[in-house]
Amino acid sequence: MINIMCVKWGDKYSAEFVNKLFNMVEKNICGIPFMFYCYTDDGKDINPSVKIIPMQTDLTQYWPKLELFKLFRQGTNIFFDLDVVILQPMERLLSVKTRTVSILYSQWKEGFLLPHKKAKPENKYPTQYNSSIMKWQDNQGDEIYNYFQKNKDMILFKYRGIDRYLYHEPVQIDLLPTGIAYSYWKGAKYGKDTTPEKLRLDYEVCILNNGPKQNEVNSWVNNYWL
């Protein structure tokens, strides 16, 4: 049994995103038994097959997903952001054996790691990590969660997002293998494969980060986001 989970906070994403993520997981999980959870402040209109975990935190925006490391401390756990499209059976992702929390390495961002001296605050701490997909076993997320709790005020003040926290603070992270996910808007690899909006069936997941989301594009995405 695998625990699959997502987070829906505020009104950026509707229940449709949760329901379609559930459908895509069910179709592409290679027959492995799973439970699907949504950690949310609003469970209205979410598929009854999704187990709702009411959000009980003062964290906002992207930060609530750190709570998952406290909530899921047994078994195999896989987290997805809601702006992902699963393209095919997730054999690579499902076969990964984690030593600690494992996340994506954003090869499409390579070359953007040196901010200008006058960079905006949100770009002051660049990162090549991407937590749109995270996988961990049992209590492997304890270090990340406990460090955050001990340094919460500093982290929330200093970083815009979890990816920057994980990249710049002394917590242990592993990287998922290449070939699992790419960016719809940035491509697969900086300088080599940068065509936006391209269907790449040699990958398992496409992430619509840094741009309009699934319900705002009219392309091949509509054939997979079902």
Closest by CA position to 10, among listed 79, 51, 64: 64
Residues 100, 143: contact at Cβ < 8 Å?
Answer: yes
Give CA–CA dist 177/200, Å, rounded.
Answer: 16
In angstroms, what CA-CA distances link 140 with 35, 57, 173, 194, 204?
19, 21, 10, 34, 24
Specify the pTM: 0.95
pLDDT score for 109: 85
Residues ≥6 apart with Cβ < 8 Å to 42: 8
User: pLDDT tens across 18-49, in order?
Assistant: 999 999 999 999 999 999 999 999 999 999 99
Token readout for 106 is 């954003």
Residue 161 pLDDT grade (very low, low, confident, very high; cuts 50, 70, 90): very high
β-sheet with 181-183: strand ranges across? 84-86, 205-207, 181-183
Q: What is the pLDDT of residues 144-156, one digit of tens each?
A: 999 999 999 999 9
Using the predicted structure, report yes or no on whether residue 112 has a pLDDT greater than 70.
no
H or E element, residue 69 = helix 68-71
Q: Which CATH class is domain 2-223?
A: alpha beta
**pLDDT tens for residues 116-146?**
556 666 667 889 999 999 999 999 999 999 9
Backbone region of residue 31 per phi and psi (left: phi > 0; alpha: psi in -120 to 50; beta: other values): left
